[in-house]
Amino acid sequence: MPKYPWQPYSPLRTHDFDDGVFVDGPQPGNLFVCRNCNRRFKFDSAAHKTWAVGKGRTYFALHDSVSSRWITQPCSGSPNEQDEEDSKRVKPRLMNAAQKLKRSA
């Protein structure tokens, strides 16, 4: 029986996660932090979606390119500088159409 909600073949299974803690907010989900490499992921059990998140209390979603890379890479076994930089690359908040028009004007 899989310990974590993601697929058994997933590279995410190579991480040594703490038990997922539910984190509320604009992007609610269970937070999983790897004890070895410190990568953080959120899992939305309703949508069955996993994404990488940054540090701090907010745990904002990281940029899609970072998220998809983190999800497809097996655990490196220890924290590294690249991950440290990646975890600062928070996904830009969505702008609404009006704001976009204003910016390009």
Binding site for Zn ion (CB under 5 A): 15, 34, 36-37, 75
Judged by beta carbon, residue 37 or residue 53, the one nearer Zn ion is 37
CB of 48 to Zn ion, least distance (A): 21
Q: Which two tokens stand for residue 105?
A: 């004007």
Choice between 34 and 97, CB closer to Zn ion: 34
User: What is the DSSP code (8-state) at residue 40?
Assistant: E
Q: How far apart are CA 22 and CA 7, in angstroms?
A: 19
- Distance CA(21)–CA(15), nearest Å, equals 16
Residue 85 or 102 with smaller CB distance to Zn ion: 85
CB-CB neighbours of 62 under 10 Å:
24
Give the nearest distance from C-beta 56 to Zn ion in angstroms: 19
How far apart are CB 35 and Zn ion at their closest, in Å?
A: 8
